[in-house]
Amino acid sequence: MFDNFFYALRDAGLRVTMGEWLTFQDAMSQGMCNSSLTEFYYLARMILVKSETDFDKFDMVFESMFKAVSRETEISKNMLQWLDNSEFTEMVAEPERQWLNKVEEIQVDKDDVEEKFKQRLRDQDSEHNGGSHWIGTMGKTSFGNTGGNVGGVRVGGKTGYQSAFSVVGARKYRDFRDDRVMDNRQFQQALRKLRQFSSKLDIPKTELDLDGTIDKTCNHGGLLHIVMEKPRKNAVKLLLLMDSGGTMIPYTTLLNDLFQSVTKTNHFKEVKVYFFHNCIYSNLYKTPECENGDWVDTEWVFRNMDSDYKVIIVGDAAMAPEELYSDTGNYRGPNGGLSGMDWLLQVKRHYKKIVWLNPKMAPGRAPWREAETAIKEVFPMYKLTVSGLNEAMKELVAKR
């Protein structure tokens, strides 16, 4: 089973090395997990997982590999409903609070509590509140929530005294993963990394570096040496082109979050946003509704937004082949005598740095998604996740 555990971790994307695995084996051989599944879990995670972004992946592999154990502590829907009783949430008695505040150290037999918990799960058939035996709320039992016991198993509810040594089914680290399609909070976090843009731009040093000037002047015996530095004001100009409507409708909230994050951030000198449907043609729309006539000419964008703009294209690249290759493939507006692919190539010729972000990118070359595969040959394409956005930003600032 342990060898399968290693391969399952690798298959899930965790970069577990042979050295780390041998260290883990050595730690187990020395009895460092004390025949406890809980201590085995923490020992494995401590040695084998390098980043908190992988904690959720590890938890899912661990649960899958040791499901025979996890089934013994599986919580039924009825049980969770019994424990989700908001009436009792704020009713911890003041004497109990005072008593709990005085507790400095309580010795808990974890194995005994876990065994009793499994037995209660098998036997309990109704809701309990305020008792000292069954899984419930507001009582002194070791199992449940909003009660007065220290050192038990919290099930459901919200954490109170931070005293439980086991929180069943929490998956507390799912929001830390870097392979999830992003939400608004994650966009804000990822976009902070775009501050690196200005420092990496090859722009003239036009501002006086006062500290550097003083330091170099002192080092030369008082002979004045002027030191200049790049402007601190962000000099990055961004052109954001977003696919809207059709197969992108399920990602409307995601695109709105990205739009809000980009347009309200102070990471850029200029931000221009336009929309298209399925593919870029002779016009770009001013609004996500992509209404006929509410557009600007794509060539006007070329003339008014120079080649120094960084370009981020967001879309699922899901379209019929004729929409990409036919000069009449744009069924919502004019083509301007060129196919969608021709227009994409024009974009590539005009701008130095372009990336494509795809919320549902297929792995590798996907023959069932011909358009996506073709567009990957034109632009570097990344999945619209935290890690994907980070990789795209590295591509935009690379000097090559």
CB contact at 8 A, 146 and 91: yes
Count of other CB atoms within 10 angstroms of residue 131? 15
Mean pLDDT of the chain: 75
How confident is the model over 191-245, as pLDDT tens digits?
555 555 545 555 677 778 888 888 888 888 888 888 887 666 667 788 999 999 8
How high is the pLDDT of residue 97?
A: 42
Q: 3-state class of 274 per DSSP?
A: strand
6-20, 56-70, 125-139, 343-357 — which is least confidently predicted? 125-139
How high is the pLDDT of residue 103?
A: 40
Greater confidence, 15 or 303? 303
CB contact at 8 A, 285 and 275: yes
User: Once rounded to an integer, what is the mean pLDDT over residues 310-315?
Assistant: 94
How confident is the model over 321-336, as pLDDT tens digits?
999 999 999 988 899 9
How confident is the model over 169-197, as pLDDT tens digits?
455 555 445 555 555 555 655 555 555 55
Burial class (CB in 10 A: 0-12, 13-18, 19+), 307: exposed
User: Once rounded to an integer, what is the mean pLDDT over residues 309-325?
Assistant: 93
How high is the pLDDT of residue 242?
A: 93
Count of other CB atoms within 10 angstroms of residue 189? 13
Confidence check: pLDDT of 26 > 70: yes
What is the Cα–Cα distance from 301 to 283, expressed in whole angstroms? 9
Which amino acid is it at 102? K
User: What pTM was computed for the model?
Assistant: 0.53
Q: Could you tell me the pLDDT band of residue 389, with boundaries at 50, 70 and 90?
A: confident
Which of 121-130, 229-238, 369-378 is modeled with the greatest confidence? Answer: 369-378
How confident is the model over 240-293, as pLDDT tens digits?
999 998 888 888 877 777 777 777 666 677 889 999 999 999 999 998 888 889
How high is the pLDDT of residue 265?
A: 64
How confident is the model over 136-154, as pLDDT tens digits?
665 666 555 555 555 455 5
CA-closest candidate to residue 121, choices 75, 153, 154, 83: 75
Greater confidence, 6 or 390? 6
